[in-house]
Amino acid sequence: MSQTSHDDVVIIGAGIGGLALALALRQRGTEATVIERTSELREVGAAVGLSANAVKLLREYGVEDALAKVSWAPTDLIFRNGRTGETLGRTPVGLTYRERFGADWWGLHRADLQKVLSEAVGMDRILLSRNVTGLREEGDHVAVEMADGSRVTARVVVGADGARSTVRRWMLGHDDAVYSGRSGFRGIIRTEDLTELPDPHALQFWVGPTGHLLHYAMGGDGSHVNFLAVSREPQEWTEQGWVVPVEDSAKLAPFAGWHPAVTQMLEAVEVTQQWALMRRPPIRTWHRGRVVLLGDAAHAFVPHHGQGANQSIEDTWALAEELAAVHGRDPEPAFEAYTARRRARTRAVAFASAQVAEVLHLPDGPQAQARDALMGTQQWFEDRLAWVHAYDPRVDTGIRPGSLAPVSR
Ligand SMILES: Cc1cc2nc3c(=O)[nH]c(=O)nc-3n(C[C@H](O)[C@H](O)[C@H](O)COP(=O)(O)OP(=O)(O)OC[C@H]3O[C@@H](n4cnc5c(N)ncnc54)[C@H](O)[C@@H]3O)c2cc1C
C-alpha cells in the first residue's frame, strides 16, 4: 500500500494517553486522527488504577459514567508486613476519598478502559494495524511513515506511542531506556478464590526487603483482584526485550516464607512473563518542530505509584488547552507552554515513584522499623499520596511534593 492522506492533528498510539487526547482535542473543536499499530484495542489480562487527578478529567471528556460501570473503588489503602501480615497502616479511601479529591480512585481492566475511550473517540477516527516507522519534516507539515508503505501528513503530530516510543527515538536519535533494578510479575484472580486474603476489596501493599506485592480489586463488581509482584531481581537487565518468558516456578523465590495470602495469590495464576521495570531519564525538551511527546513517550517511569496512565491523562488537558490557545498557528509556542506546565509535575511523580520501591524494600533494621511506624500515620498519606491525587491540571494548582527525601540506609 502506498497512499498519502492529510490531517490537521495526528496522534501516534491509541493507548490511554492517545485516546484521551483525542477526546480533549475534540472538546476544543479539533478532530484528530489516531494511528495504532495493533489490529485490535485490547490488552487482555492487565489492569490499571485510575486516581482522582485523572478521573476528574475523564469526567470532562464525558466518559466518567461509562467507566464507573466497569470500575471498582477500593475500600481502604492498607500497608502490611509481607511476612507476618501485620497491618502497618490503614487509611479508609471509599467515600472519604471521593469527598476530598473530587473523584473516585478506581481499579479496572485495561481492555474496558480502552473500549470506553475508543468508543467515545469513534472507530472511524482510529486507524488500526498501522505501525509507524518514521517521521519526516516537510516544511509546514510532518509526514508520518508506516510499515505498510502508507503515509499521513499533518500540521501537528503527537507521539503518544508509549514507553518504547518510536517518536521519542526519532527525536533523540537513540534509545535511552534505563532498567530500574526491579522486575515484576502480574496476574488477575477471582476474588472468591483468595481465601487467605484479608480485606480483599482494599488496595494493599505487602512489604518486605526482597520485594513487595500490590493488589486491588477491579471490574464493576470487584469480582477480580489484580496483582503486581515486584522484586529486586535481577540486578541488571541483560535481556533484549522488556518482557521475557519465565518458568512459573521463578515467581515464588523472592516471596518464600511470606504470608499465606501472598503465596496463595501468586500460586493462583500461572506466571509466564517477567517485566523489566524500565524508566526514561527526564528530558528538557518534549518537542521538535511540529512533533510533540505525550504520556510514557515523554516521561516513562516505574509503576510503584500507579501513576503512569494518570500522568498521561493529565498531559492531555494541558496539551489540548495550549494547542487551542494558538488557534491553528505555529504549534511550537503551544508545545513550549505545555512542556513548561507538565515537566516539573511529571518529574516529581517519577521521582516519588522510584522512591516507593526504595522505601518498601528497606532491609530489616531500624530504618524499616521507622518506616513501619510512619505508615500508620496520617502524615504518611499526606506526604506520599495526597499531593499526587489532589493535583488538578485544570487550575494548575502546582505541586506539593511533600517529603521527597529517601529514607537513608
Ligand atoms: C506492570 C505495570 C503496571 C502499571 N499500573 C499502572 C496503574 O495502575 N496506574 C497507572 O496510572 N499506570 C500504570 N502503569 C503505567 C501505564 O501502563 C502507562 O504509564 C500508560 O499506559 C501510558 O499511557 P500511554 O498512552 O503513554 O502509552 P500506552 O498506553 O502504552 O499506549 C501506547 C500505544 O501506542 C501504540 N504504539 C506503540 N508504538 C507504535 C507505533 N510505532 N506505531 C503505532 N502505534 C504504536 C501501542 O500499541 C499502544 O497502543 C503500569 C505499568 C506497568 C508496566
Look up residue 3 and give its amino acid: Q
* 315 ligand 1 Cβ < 6 A: no
Looking at residue 123, the DSSP 8-state letter turns out to be: G
* 17 ligand 1 Cβ < 6 A: yes
Mean pLDDT, contiguous 10-residue spans, the chain (409 residues): 77 98 97 95 82 98 98 97 97 91 96 96 97 96 96 97 96 94 94 97 97 96 96 84 88 94 96 92 95 98 96 98 92 95 96 94 96 92 93 68 35
| Bridge partners, residue 155, by sequence | none
* 141 ligand 1 Cβ < 6 A: no
* 159 ligand 1 Cβ < 6 A: no
Domains and CATH numbers, the chain: 4-71+106-176+281-360 (3.50.50.60)
Q: Note the pLDDT of residue 395.
A: 87
CA distance 87 to 79: 6
Helix (H, G, I), strand (E, B) or coil at 120: helix
Q: What angle do CA 277, 391, 334 make, to 5 degrees?
A: 85
- What nine digits make up the cell of 179? 532498567
> What is the helix (H) or strand (E) element at residue 361, kind and residue range?
none
Calculate the alpha carbon distances from 32 to 8, 82, 157, 347 in Å.
7, 47, 10, 28
What is the tally of helices (H) and strands (E) in the chain? 13, 18
* Cβ contact 296:165 at 8 Å: yes
- What nine digits make up the cell of 171? 527525536
* Atom nearest to 297 CA in ligand 1: 26
Q: What angle do CA 318, 346, 160 make, to 5 degrees?
A: 60
Q: Note the pLDDT of residue 354.
A: 94
> What is the pairing mode between strands 224-231 and 141-146?
unpaired
Residue nearest to atom 21 of ligand 1 (CA): 309
Look up residue 282 and give its amino acid: P
Distance 20 CA to ligand 1 centre (A): 12
* 20 ligand 1 Cβ < 6 A: no
Alpha helix stretches (DSSP H) within 41-105: 52-60, 64-68, 95-101
| Number of Cβ within a 10 Å radius of residue 260 | 12
* 278 ligand 1 Cβ < 6 A: no
CA distance 179 to 238: 9
Q: Tell me if residue 216 is catalytic.
A: yes
Q: Note the pLDDT of residue 231.
A: 94
Displacement of CA 132 from its chain's centroid (Å): 22
* Cβ contact 315:182 at 8 Å: no
Helix (H, G, I), strand (E, B) or coil at 184: strand
Q: Note the pLDDT of residue 41.
A: 84
CA distance 287 to 281: 15
Helix (H, G, I), strand (E, B) or coil at 71: coil
Q: Note the pLDDT of residue 405.
A: 36
* Cβ contact 225:194 at 8 Å: yes
Distance 261 CA to ligand 1 centre (A): 29
* 74 ligand 1 Cβ < 6 A: no
Helix (H, G, I), strand (E, B) or coil at 131: coil
CA distance 207 to 154: 48
Look up residue 4 and give its amino acid: T
- Kindly give, in sequence order, each residue whose CB lies less than 8 Å from that of residue 288, ignoring residues fewer than 6 positions away: 171
* Atom nearest to 49 CA in ligand 1: 8
Distance 259 CA to ligand 1 centre (A): 31
**Prediction pTM value:** 0.94
**Catalytic, out of 61, 216, 338, 391:** 216
Alpha helix stretches (DSSP H) within 3-51: 16-27
CA distance 55 to 76: 18
Q: Note the pLDDT of residue 5.
A: 78
Residue nearest to atom 7 of ligand 1 (CA): 306
Q: Note the pLDDT of residue 1.
A: 47
In the block, which residue shows the cell 479496572? 108
